[in-house]
Chains A and B, each alone.
Chain A
Amino acid sequence: MEQSIWLALLSTGVVAGTPILFAALGEILTERAGILNLGVEGMMLVGAVTGFMVTMSTHNQWMGLLMAIVAGGLMALIHAFLSITLRANQVVSGLALTIFGTGLSGFLGKDLIGVPLTDTFKPIPIAGLSEIPWIGDILFKHDALVYISYGLIFILWFFLYRTKTGLELRAVGENPAAADAAGINVFAIRYACVIAGGMLAGAAGAYLSLAYAPSWLENMTAGRGWIAVALVIFGTWNPLRAFLGSFFFGTIDVMGFTMQTIGIQIPSFFLKMLPYIFTIAVLIVVTRETKTRRVASPEALSIPYNREER
C-alpha cells in the first residue's frame, strides 16, 4: 500500500481524536477529584451548538469557542450542584445531563441544520516542525485547537503530578475525609474540577462543529462523549496515556474511509460500528489489567462526600 495513504490515515486520526481528547482530559480532571460525570455527551452537544451559533453571529470562531467553553461549564455546574451539594447519585445525575443536553442542543439548533459556516478553524502547518518526515505530516499540519490540545496534555499532567494543588486534588479524589481533616477545601476543589471538566467538554463540542465537520447536526457527537469516558479508564486517569488513546480511537474512527479508498468492500454500517466495538473491547481488557497492576480508579470516585458522616 502507498505510504501516503498511511500518512493520511494517521494524520486524520489525530484530528478525529482531538474532540475525544479534550473531553477525556476534562473527565480526567473531574474523576481525579472523585466525581463521575456521565454528562460528557450532553455537555459536548451543548458546546457544539453554542460554538456554532456564536460563530455564525459574530463571525469569529474564537468567540464561538469561548462561549462553548462557558456553556460546557454552566452545564457542569448543574452536575456539580446535584452531586456535591445535594449528594445525588452521580450516575443518574450525569445521565440526566446527557439527556437534557441532547434535548437543549436540538432545541437551540433547530434552525441551524445544514447551514454552512465559513469562519472555521483551518489547518496552520507549523514552520519547521511540519517539515519533519512522517511526524510533521501526522502531528504538525493541523488547526490551532489541535496544538492547544497537545499543550493541555502536558499542562494537565504537570498540574496533577507536580504541583501542590494537583496533589491536594488527587487527595480529594482518593480520601476526601482525610483531605478535609488536613484543611483542604473538598467542596471548592470538587466544584472547580467538575466545572473545568465541563469547560473542556464544551471545547470538545466546539471542535466538532467549528473544525472537524463545520456544521450543526442533531446528535453530531455520535457517542464520542461516551468514548471519552471510556478513554479515561483506558488512560488510567493519566493525561499522557489519554493522548495515545484518543489517537488510537480517532484513527479507528476514520479507518472506514481509508478502507473504502483502497477498495475493501465492507458495508459502511460495519465500519461505523468499529469505534464502539473497539471501545468496549479495550475497556474489558484494560479493566482486567487494572486489577492486576497497581493502577485503579480514584478511591472515592462517585461516592458523595458527607462532612457530617466523617
Chain B
Amino acid sequence: MGNGSFSRWHFEKRETTSNLVLVMVPVLSVVIGLIFTGLFIALTGKDPLEVYLLMFDGAFGSAYGISETIVKSIPLLICALGLSIAFRMQLWNIGAEGQLYMGAFGATWAALTFPDWPAYQLLPAMMVAGFLAGGLWGLLPAIPRAYFKVNETITTLLMNYIAILWVDYLVVGPWKDPKSFNFPISPQFTEGAILPTLGTSRIHMGLVFGVVVALLLYIVLNYTRWGFEIRVSGESPAAARYAGMNYVKNILLVMFISGGLAGLAGMTEVSAITQRLQHGISPGYGYSAIIIAWLARLHPAAIVLVSVIFGGMLVGGYSIQTSGFSSTTVSMLQGAILFFVVGGEIFVNYRLVRGEKGGK
C-alpha cells in the first residue's frame, strides 16, 4: 500500500466540527459494526437480519426483556463511568473486570463478617468495602505507572486474571458454602446484605448509584477545578505540570476512583443479583465498559444511554444462544463496533477530500 494510492483521496483538517458529525460518527459505527458482524453470521448460513431481530426482540420486545436489559446495564454503566475518568487522563485502565471482581470480594467479606447487621448498616459497609477493594486494585498498577511510567495497559489487564483466580480460590476454599454440594459458591447472603429491588423485577438500587455517579461526574468535570485539572492532564501532561498541578497525585487518585467504581459495580452484582460470591459473576462487563466509555466519547450522559444499548446487546446475546450461537458472538459485535468508532474518529477532525493535495 504505497503513498501513491492516497494521492487522490486525502484527509483535510476541518475548521470546525459540527455536532452532527460528533453524533453521526458513533451512530454510523454501530450500524457498520452490525453489517460487518452480519457478514460473519451470513457465513454460517443464517440470515443476519433475522438474528438481529431476534436479539432486539429478546432485549426490548417484552417487559421482562427490558427489565433484564436495565439489570445488565447497571454494572456496565458504573464501570464505564469509572473508566471514563481514567481515559480522560489518558490512563488506559483496562482492568475494570478485575476491579469488579475485587469489589465483589470486598463486599462479600463485609456480608459474611457481619451477617446480623441490618440493611441500613450492612449495605453501606458493603459499598465501602467493595469500593475500597476495587479502588486498591486500581491503585496498585497506578503506583508504578505514576513513578516509573510502567505501562498500565498491560499491568491492569494481567491483574484481571489474578483477581478472577483469587475469587475462584475463595469460593472453593475458605469461603465455600458447606451446603453447596461442591459447587463453587459462597454461603448465601443474609437479608440485610441484599439491595432493594423495584417491585417484583430484578432492577435494583444499583441503578440509582449509576445515575447519581453520572450526575456527580458531570458536575465535577465541568464545574470544579479538579475536573479541569483532569481534562488538562489528559490533553497535555507537560502543561498540567507547568501549571503546578500534581500530576502524580492525580494519576493515583483517578485510578483509585476508577477502580473503586468498578468495585462498586461488583458489590451491586453480588448483593442484588447472585446474592453470594460465585465463579464467573461477570460475563466481561469490565471489557464491554471500555467500548461503552469510548463510544460515548467519555461523556457521562452519553455513557448512560450507551450502557442501556449494550445491556440490551447482552440480553439479546442470550436469546440467540438458543438458536445455536456462541455467547461470544456479542463480543465480536462489540469489538467490530469499536473498530469503526476508533477508525471513524479521524472524521471528527478531518474530512476526506478528493483531488490534489494543497500546499504540500
Binding site for B on A (CB under 8 A): 38, 42, 78, 81-82, 85-89, 91-93, 95-107, 109-110, 185, 187-188, 191, 218, 222-223, 226-227, 229-230, 233, 267, 269-270, 272-273, 276-277, 279-280, 283-284, 287-288, 291, 307-308
| In-complex Cβ contact of B161 among A91, A267, A276 (8 A) | A276
Please indicate the chain B residues that have their CB under 8 angstroms from the CB of A308 in the complex.
10-11, 357, 360
Interface assignment of B1: CB less than 8 Å from any CB of chain A: yes
When C-beta atoms are compared, the residue in chain A nearest to B143 turns out to be A284
Residues A107 and B325 in contact in the complex (CB < 8 Å), given A226-B154, A284-B144:
yes
By the criterion of a CB under 8 Å from any partner CB, how many residues of chain B are at the interface? 53
Q: Which of B61-69, B145-153, B200-208, B268-276 contacts A (4 or more CB under 8 A)?
A: B145-153
- Knowing that A103-B331, A103-B332, A230-B158 are A-B contacts, what are 6 other residue pairs whose CB atoms are under 8 Å apart, sorted by A's residue number? A99-B334, A100-B334, A103-B329, A218-B326, A218-B328, A284-B148
B2 at the interface (CB under 8 A from A): yes
B345: A residues at CB distance < 8 A: 86, 88-89
Residues of B with C-beta under 8 A to A85: 1, 6
Can you list 22 A-B pairs with a CB-CB distance of less than 8 A? A89-B345, A92-B342, A93-B342, A96-B338, A97-B339, A99-B287, A100-B336, A100-B339, A101-B335, A103-B335, A104-B328, A106-B326, A187-B1, A187-B2, A226-B154, A233-B151, A233-B154, A279-B158, A280-B155, A284-B144, A288-B148, A308-B360
**Chain B neighbourhood of A96, CB < 8 A:** 291, 335-336, 338-339, 342
The listed residue (A105, A188, A227, A279) touching B2 by CB distance below 8 A is A188
Separation in Å of the B41 CB from the closest CB of chain A? 8
- Chain B residues with Cβ below 8 Å from A283 are 144, 150-151, 154-155
B residues in contact with A191, CB < 8 Å:
1
Residues of A contacting B287 in the complex (Cβ-Cβ under 8 angstroms): 99
Chain B: CB-nearest residue to A94? B153
Give the shortest distance, in Å, between A179 (CB) and chain B (any CB). 13
Contact residues in A for B334 (Cβ distance below 8 Å): 99-100, 103
Q: Is B342 a contact partner of A104 (Cβ separation < 8 A)?
A: no
Q: A107-B326, A218-B328 are in contact. Are A280 and B158 (CB under 8 A)?
A: yes
Interchain CB contact (< 8 A) of A287 among B2, B150, B326, B336: B150
For residue A38, which residues in chain B have a CB less than 8 angstroms away from its CB?
153
Interface: B261 (CB within 8 A): no
A222 to B157, CA, bound (A): 11
Find A78's partner among B150, B161, B339 (CB 8 Å cutoff).
Answer: B339
Check A223 against B338 for contact (C-beta < 8 Å).
no
B168 within 8 A of A: yes
For chain A, what secondary structure do more than half of its interface residues adopt (helix, strand, loop), or is it mixed? helix
Across the interface, which residues of A come within 8 angstroms of B290, CB to CB? 95, 99
B154-210 residues with Cβ-Cβ distance < 8 A to A are 154-155, 157-159, 161-162, 165-166, 168-169, 173
Of A107, A226, A279, A284, the residue contacting B328 (CB under 8 A) is A107
Residues 231-260 of chain B, each 1 if its beta carbon lies under 8 Å from chain A, else 0:
000000000000000000000000000000
Interface residues of B in 328-359 (CB under 8 A from A): 328-336, 338-339, 342-343, 345-346, 357
Question: With A and B bound together, what is the CA distance between A269 and B176 in angstroms?
Answer: 15
A103, A226, A287: the one contacting B149 at CB < 8 Å is A287
| Most chain A Cβ neighbours within 10 Å, of B1, B92, B148 | B1
Residue of A nearest to B158 (CB): A276
Question: Is B162 a contact of A277 with CB atoms below 8 Å?
Answer: yes
Given contacts A106-B331, A107-B329, contact A86 B346 (CB under 8 A): yes
Also in contact, A91 and B346, with CB within 8 A (given A96-B339, A100-B332, A101-B335):
no
| CB–CB A104/B332 < 8 A | yes
Question: Are A95 and B343 in contact (CB-based, < 8 A)?
Answer: no
Q: Which residue of B lies closest to A104 (CB)?
A: B332
Q: Is the CB of B339 within 8 A of A93?
A: yes
Residue in B3, B325, B342 whose beta carbon sits within 8 Å of that of A88 in the complex: B342
User: Could you tell me if A102 and B150 are in contact, using CB atoms closer than 8 angstroms?
Assistant: no
- Residues on the A chain within 8 Å of B173, using CB: 267, 269
- Min Cβ gap A39→B in Å is 9
A81 to B332, CA, bound (A): 19
CA–CA, A160 and B157, complex, Å: 30
Q: For residue A101, which residues in chain B have a CB less than 8 angstroms away from its CB?
A: 335
- Inter-chain contacts of A230 with B (CB < 8 A): 151, 154, 158
CA distance A87 to B344 in the complex (A): 10
Instruction: State A110–B327 Cα separation when bound (angstroms).
Output: 9
B40 interface contact, C-beta 8 A: yes
State the CA gap A109–B343 with chains docked (Å): 28
User: Per-residue CB proximity of B75-101 to A under 8 Å, as 1/0?
Assistant: 000000000000000001010000000
- Residue B105 interfacial (CB < 8 Å): no
Inter-chain CA distance A291–B328, complex, in Å, is 41
CA–CA, A226 to B161, complex, Å?
Answer: 11
Are A100 and B338 touching (Cβ within 8 A)? yes
User: Known contacts A106-B328, A107-B332: does B165 contact A91 (CB below 8 Å)?
Assistant: no
CB distance from B284 to the nearest CB of A (A): 9
Q: Are B339 and A82 in contact (CB under 8 A)?
A: yes
CB distance A287 to B346 under 8 Å? no
- B294 sits at the interface (CB 8 A): yes
